[in-house]
Amino acid sequence: MQSWRDELQQAVTEREHRRLLRRLETSPAGSVDFSSNDYLSLNSDGTVKRLFESLLPLSTQDLGSTGSRLIRGHREAFDRAERAFADWVGLDGALLFHSGYAGNVGTLQALLSPGDLVFADRLCHASLLDGIRLSGATRHYFRHNDLEHLSELLRKHSTRKRRWIVTESVFSMDGDRPDRDALLALAEQNDCLLYLDEAHAIGVIGEAGRGLAHPEQQRFAVLSYPMGKAPGLMGCFVAGPPELKAFLVNHARSFIYSTAQPPLLADLLRLVIEEMGTDEMEKRRIRLRKLSELLFKRLNEEGFATGVTPSHITPIILGAEERTIQTATRLKQQGFSVFAIRPPTVPAGACRLRISVHAGNTEEEIEGLVTALRLSR
C-alpha cells in the first residue's frame, strides 16, 4: 500500500514541478465571469432557478431514479424531455445520457467497430477521442478544420466497412467552427457518416439556437448535444434517425450500466428547451454576438493574438506558460474570473487565456478586461 501511495504522490509532485498540476478552485464572489460556459447567463441571472421553482411543489417524493433506465429507473419525465428536444432540433428521436462525456463515449463505442475508419479533427474533445479509441476502429486525425487535409486522407484510406468523420460545431479552446456545407459535401462525396458534437453551439448558434447542423440536421448520421454549456444544466441528448435511439438503448454501455438521472432534472431540461424558442432568448443570442464582436475587435486593436473570427469563446494566445499563469493571476486579483489554459489541454507553446463571453456581461466589463490585459503585459 505505501509504495503505491508513494507512486501517486510522485506523479502529483512531478506535475507540480512542471507547473501542470490541476487544482479545484472556486471563483471569488463578485468576480466578473469570463470563464464559465453559461453563455446565455441562464444560471447567473436566475432563469434556471425560476424554471426549477415552477416545478414546485413536487407531486412525488420519488426524487432519485434508484436504478438504470432499463431496470426500474425509467420515468415519463425522460420521455417528455427527449420528445421535446427531438422536436426542437427537428430530428426523429433523442436519448438522454448523464453528460456529454458519457454520451459521446457510449455512442461512439457502440456505433463504431474494428474495421471501420474514423477521421477525426485533431482538436476534438477528449470524450470523442476516448469513444473512438474504445471502439477499436482505425483512426486518422486531420489538421484542425483543414478540409483539404481531410479530403487527402479520405482519398488515401479506404475500407470494406464504414467510414466516419467526427468533429465539433464550435471548438472549446479556439472558438472556431468548421464549414458545415463543405463538410457535408465532402462526407457525401466520399460515402462517410458524419458525427457532430454541438456542445458549444446548442442554444447559441443557428435559428432559435438549434446549433450549427440546423437546418441540415437530417444529413448528419449522429448529433450530440451536451446540455452543460448554454442550456446551463447537465446531460446530453444524442439524436439522429429513428433507429438510433433503440440501438443505443441496447448497445451504449454508458447508458445501460448507469443509474438514471433524477427525473426532476429531465423535467427541468424540458423547461429550458421550451425557453430556448422565446423572444427573450433570441435577444440574448443577439446581445452575445454583439459582445463577442466587441471583445474580438478590442483585443485585435490592442495587438493580442486571438482566434480567426469573433466567437463567444475567444482565446488570447500568450505562448509561454509563465506569462500565461502570471497574466491570469493578475486578472483574478483585479476581479476577473479568467483561467490559464496550458498543456496537455493545448499544445506546448500555445498557452492561452480562454475568454467566455456571456449575454449578461456588459460593454464596461469588456472594456475593463481589455484594459487589465493591456496593463498586465
- Domains contained in the chain, CATH given: 27-46+279-375 (3.90.1150.10), 58-275 (3.40.640.10)
**Beta carbons of 186 and 179 less than 8 angstroms apart:** no
DSSP SS3 for 356: strand
Quote the pLDDT of residue 296.
98
How many whole angstroms separate alpha carbon 228 and alpha carbon 235?
A: 7
CA distance 339 to 270: 32
**Residue 159 binned pLDDT confidence (cut-offs 50, 70, 90):** confident
Cell of residue 63, nine digits: 426524487
DSSP 8-state assignment for residue 90? T
Long-range contact list for 150-156, CB < 8 A, 24+ apart? 150/119, 150/186, 151/186, 151/190, 153/119, 154/119, 154/186, 154/190, 154/192
Q: Are 68 and 96 in contact (CB under 8 A)?
A: no
Q: What is the mean pLDDT of residues 97-123?
A: 97
**pLDDT tens, position by position, 45-96:** 999 999 999 999 987 778 899 999 999 999 999 999 999 999 999 999 999 9
pLDDT, tens digit, for every residue of 291-325?
999 999 999 999 999 988 999 999 999 999 999 99
User: What pLDDT score does 61 carry?
Assistant: 75
- pLDDT score recorded for residue 279: 97
List % helix, strand, coil for the chain (3-state, nearest 5). Answer: 45, 15, 40
Task: Please compute the mean of the pLDDT values over residues 356-376 and round it to a whole number.
Answer: 97
The pairing of strands 351-356 and 313-319 is: antiparallel
Average pLDDT over residues 348-374: 96
Distance CA 26, CA 212 (A): 32
**H or E, element range at 33:** strand 32-33
Question: Mean pLDDT across the stretch 211-221?
Answer: 97
Does position 18 have pLDDT exceeding 90, yes or no? no
Among residues 243, 205, 253, the alpha carbon closest in space to that of 225 is found at 205
Q: Kindly report, residue by residue over 131-152, the tens digit of the pLDDT.
A: 999 999 999 999 999 999 999 9
Per-chain mean pLDDT for the chain:
95
- Are 23 and 359 contacting, i.e. CB atoms less than 8 angstroms apart? no
Grid cell listed for 184: 457535408
**Which of 24-38, 116-130, 320-334 has the weakest average pLDDT?**
24-38
